[in-house]
Structure 1
Amino acid sequence: MSLAGIFGCQNPTETETTTAATPTKAAENRLSDEELLTLVQKNTFQYFWDGAEPTSGLARERIHMDNVYPSDDRNVVTTGATGFGLMALLVGIERGFITREEGVQRLQKMVDYLEKADRFHGAWPHWIQGETGKVKPFGQKDNGGDLVETAFLVQGLLTVRQYLQDGNAEEKALAAQIDTLWREVEWDWYRKDGQNVLYWHWSPEYAWEMNFPVSGYNEALIMYVLAAASPTHGVPAEVYHEGWAKSGAIVSDAKAYGREVVLSHNGHEGTVGPMFWAHYSYLGLDPRGLKDKYADYWKLNQNHTMIQHDYCVDNPKDFEGYGEDTWGLTSSYSPEGYAGHSPKHDLGVIAPTAALSSYPYAPAESMKVIRHLYDDMGDKLWGEYGFYDAFSEEKDWYTPRYLGIDQGPIPVMIENGRSGLLWDLFMSAPEVQAGLKKLGFESPQLK
C-alpha cells in the first residue's frame, strides 16, 4: 500500500489465528522450484481473477477469508492494486492460467469501467466503490484524485496496451481505448499552480489541503516518469530534478550492512524503507541497467533487498522465526492493524510479498523464503489466493486475510525475474522511452 495508507488507512485490528486447509508437503511430493514458482503465481493471480469485484472486474482493496470487514467495504476497489492486477492478468494469459480470449474479455470490462468511474483532472481516486464507480474517501480530505495510485494504474494500462496493440481488431480497439485514458490524465495539473514538484492529491471539495508534495525517494518514481512521458499533459524535466530529486539532495552516501543505500529513503535515513519501494514502480519500469545522474537503479533495489535480508538474518531485536528463510519487511497487516514495517520500524511481522516480490533482485534468497513458507508453514500461511498478507511467529499471529496492493506485485515480479515479460512490454512504449530520455535516464531498453 502507498505511504498514504500508512497515514490514513482504515483497517481492522486482527488477532485471530486461523489455518488454511493445505496438506503437509511430503518429501516425495515436493515441487521443483519452477513448479513452485508457477503455483505461487497461479494462486496469487486468482486474487485478481476469481477474487475481483464483480461489477467492475477491478482489484478489491482486501479479501478476508474470515468474512470480517471494516465498514463492510468488501466491494471497495483500489486503483493501484488494479494496475498491478492488469499486469497479473497478462501473466495469467502467458502462463496458461486463462485463455487469451478470457483475459481480453476481462480487460475490456475493466477498461470500460475505468472510463466511467470518477476521475479528477484525469486522475482516479485511491478507492472506488465497486458497485457505483464513485469515489470512496480514503480519508476525510482524500476524496479526489490520487496521482501516485493513478501512476500505478497507468503503468498497468500501458503494459496492457503494448500487449494488445498488434492483436486482432477487438484487441487493437481496446488498446486505443486505453490510450485515450492515458492521454486524459492531467499530470501537469498536479504541479499545483506550476510548481516544480508533483502533489499526491487534489480534491474538488478540499483542493490542495492534503498538501503532500512528493519529494525524495519512496515508491513514486513511476509517477514522475509517466508525468514526463505524457504526450498531452507532460511536465518539464525540472519537475523531476528539482521536485523528486531535490536538486541532487536525494543521493545518499549511507551504508547499511556494508551495502550502499544509494538514495536517501524518506524517513529511513541511514537505512532502507519498506520493501515495496523496490517493487511498485518497477513492475513495468525495468531497473536492469537503468541509471540516471542520481542512481544505478538495479544496484539501488538489489541493495535494498539485501540490506533487508541481512537485517532479518542479523535480527537485532531477536524476533522468533527471522532468518535466511524468513525475511522481508513491508507495509502490511500486523496484530495492531495496518503498519509500515522496515528496519526502522520492525514489529516482528513478516509479509510474504516483501521477499517474494524481490525475486528478480535476489532469486536464491527469495526462493528460500518461498520454499520455507510453502513446504514448512503452508498450513498456516497458504490459502486460495496464495500466501496470506502477513504473520508473526514472535506473537503466534496468523490471519487469513489478503490485501490487493501486497498480492499484486508477487506474480508480476516473479514473472519479471523469470522472463522479463512486463518489463519488456512497458519499456517498449514509445512515450516511456521518450520520458526516460527527457529525464536523462539510460537503459539497455532505450532504443
Structure 2
Amino acid sequence: MNKPHSPNRATPGKPIKSAAAHAPARERLDDDALLERVQRQSFRYFWEFGHPVSGLARDRTQGNDEVITLGGSGFGVMAIVIAVERGWISRAEAVDRLHKMIGFLEQADSFHGAYPHFMNGTTGKVVRYARKDDGADLVETAFWIQGLIAAQVYFDRADGKEPWLRGRIEGMRRAVEWSWFTRDGRDGLYWHWSPNHGWAMNHEILGWNECLILFVLAAGAEQYAIPPLAYHNGFAQSRTFLNRRPQYGVDLPLGPDGGGPLFFAHYSFLGLDPRGLTDRYADYWAQNLAHTRLNYAYCVANPGGFKGYGPDCWGLSASDNPTGYSAHAPDNDRGVIAPTAAISSLPYAPDIAMRALRHFHDDMGDRLWGEYGFFDAFSESADWVAKTHLAIDQGPQIVMIENYRSGLIWNLFMRDPEVRRGLQRLDFQSPHLLGTPVA
C-alpha cells in the first residue's frame, strides 16, 4: 500500500493538447463523453505529473515529489497505451516515454530482478517503505510487469523504436527471478527480500487479495518459473481464501467477510480478463461481481450510520483518510468513500458504478474534481475531501473504464504467450486460451 509523504507540490510536465478543463462540466454529458473525460483528465497524472528524470509515476500529489512507485508506474504504462489508442498522445511520444522509463530502471536498484516498492525518481535508489522493507517488493514488480506486457503486445511495429522497446521489455521480464522468492523451493511466494535483512519480513503471499497476477506471471515465465504447487499449496490455502458465505444477500466465493477493499477486484484484473476465467476455486467474473455488489450493499445498508452513504455514493478501498491512509473495507469502515472503488468496478456492475460516477462528477464535482481527475477520497461525516491524487488509485480508473468501453487492455494482455502458459500451468480455463473472442 502507498503511504503519505510530507507536502511538497510539483510542477506538472508537458500538458496534453486540448486537455479537459479542471472545473467540472456544467452541462450533463452523455455516458461515453463522461467516461472519456474522466479517463483523459486522470491520464494527465501519469503524463504531465510523471517524474521529469525517470518518467515514472510519482507516488502521489502533495507528497515527496522524488518518490516514484513501481506498481503505480505499471498502471501508468497501461494508461499510456490507452492514450495512444484514444488519440490523446502520439505513438512516437508514447514510445519515447516508455524508453525513458525502462532505461531509467535498467540502471536503478533491483534485487534478483525485482524492484522496490518506492525509489528515488532521480537517483534510482531505494526509498525505504518500512524499517526492514528496503529491497525487493515482488508484488509491485508484478504490477509493473503487467503494464509492460500490455505495451509489448501493443507496440508491435517492425520499424522505428518499437522493436528496441519490445526487446528492452523482454530483457526486464527475463531478469525477474520469480523462483528465488519461493525461499529455496517452498510451496509459496514471499513478498519481500532485503539485501540488509534477508527474509526477515517473512511475508508469505496468501490469498484472497490483489496478488493473483503475480502467480500467473511467475508460473508462466520463460526463466525462473515457479511450480504450480506454490499457488495451490500456498496462495490458495489461506484461511481467508475460500468464503462461500452469503452476506447482505450476496454469495461471496473468495475472500474475507465483507470482501476486503475493492482493489482486490481491480489490480490483478487490469490485465487478466476475468470474463470466463475459472479454476478449481472460483469463477473470477462471478467473484469480482459478487465483491462489487457486496461492497455496494454494505454501503447502502450503512451499519455505521455515516453521512452520504447510499445507492449513488459507495465504494470502500485503500485511500487517504482524514488521519492518514488505510485499506478501507466493510470490516475497516471509517466513513471514507474512494471514487476509484466504484469507478474501477464499472466492468462488473455498470448500473451502480455509473450512478456513483455521475454523483461524484455532477453533484460533487465542485469539491471532488481536480487537476488530475477525482481527488483520492472524501468523508461527508468528517466534512473532508482529500486534496491528493494517488497513482495506484488514478491508474485503475483509466484502465478499467477502457476495459469496459473496449476491452483493449484485457485483449492485449491475454495475447501474451507467457500469460497463457501461466494460466494453463495453474489449471485455469479462459475463452482466450481457446482462441474464442470474448464479448
TM-score interval (norm. to shorter): over 0.9
Structure-2 separation of matches of 1:162 and 1:135? 29
Query: How many Å apart are 1:52 and its aligned residue?
Result: 0.3
Worse-superposed segment, 328-337 or 254-263: 254-263
3-state SS, counterpart of residue 402 of structure 1: coil
Task: Using the aligned pairs only, state the percent identity.
Answer: 51
Note if 1:440 corresponds to 2:433. no
Match of residue 313 from structure 1: 300
Partner Cα separation in structure 1 for residue 431 and residue 339 of structure 2? 31
| Deviation for aligned residue 1:12 | 6.3
Residues 1:341 and 2:331 are matched in the alignment: no
Gapped regions of structure 2 (runs ≥ 5): 8-20, 435-439
Deviation of the 1:154 alpha carbon: 0.4
Q: Is the aligned partner of 1:272 residue 2:270?
A: no
Aligned alpha-carbon RMSD (Å): 1.6
Q: CA shift at 1:211, angstroms?
A: 0.6
Counterpart CA distance in 2 for 1:389 and 1:249 is 28
Shift of 1:373: 0.9
Structure possessing the higher relative contact order (Cα contacts under 8 Å, 6 or more residues apart): 1
Deviations 1:133-189 (A, max 9, x none): 111111111000000000000000111111113452410110111011001100000
* Contact preservation (8 Å) 2:343, 2:354: yes
1:202-213 residue pairs with structure 2 within 5 A? Answer: 202-213=193-204
Among residues 127, 134, 143, which one is paired with 2:118 in the alignment? 127
Superposed CA deviations along residues 384-427 of structure 1, whole A, max 9, x for unmatched, are 10000000011100121111111110100000011000001110
Cα distance, 1:314 vs. partner?
1.1
1:219 aligns with 2:206: no
Task: Give the 3-state SS of the residue equivalent to 1:401 in structure 2.
Answer: coil
Aligned position for 2:46: 48
Q: Cα deviation per residue 1:45-81 (whole Å; 9 max; x = unaligned)?
A: 11000010110000000112xxxx3xxx222000000
Measure, in 2, the Cα distance between the counterparts of 1:247 and 1:380: 41
Task: Read off the aligned partner of 1:360 and give its amino acid letter.
Answer: P
1:404 corresponding residue in structure 2: 391
Q: Distance between the aligned counterparts of 2:338 and 2:44, measured in 1?
A: 19
In structure 1, the residue corresponding to 2:206 is in which secondary structure? coil
Cα-to-partner distance string for 1:235-258 (whole Å, 9 max, x where unaligned): 111111001111998322211112
Query: 1: CA distance between counterparts of 2:346 and 2:240?
Result: 30
For 1:383, the equivalent position in structure 2 comes to 370
Corresponding residue number in structure 1 for 2:358: 371
1:15-414 alignment runs, 5 A limit:
25-26=25-26, 29-64=27-62, 69=63, 73-246=64-237, 250-263=241-254, 265=255, 268=256, 270-414=257-401
User: Post-superposition, which runs of at least 4 consecutive aligned residues in structure 1 deviate over 6 A?
Assistant: none
Partner of 1:18: none
Aligned length: 421
Q: CA deviation at 1:22?
A: 5.8
Matching residue of 1:17: none
Letter in 1 for 2:405: R
User: Secondary structure of 1:231's match?
Assistant: coil
Contact 2:258 2:329 (8 Å CA) reproduced: no
TM-score, normalised relative to structure 2 = 0.93
Q: Structure 1, residues 90-127: CA drift from partner, whole Å, max 9, x if none?
A: 11111111111111111111111121111100000000
**Alpha-carbon distance between aligned partners in 2 of 1:25 and 1:414, rounded to the nearest angstrom:** 19
SS in structure 2 of the partner of residue 198 of structure 1: coil
What does residue 16 of structure 1 align with? Answer: none
TM-score by length of 1: 0.92
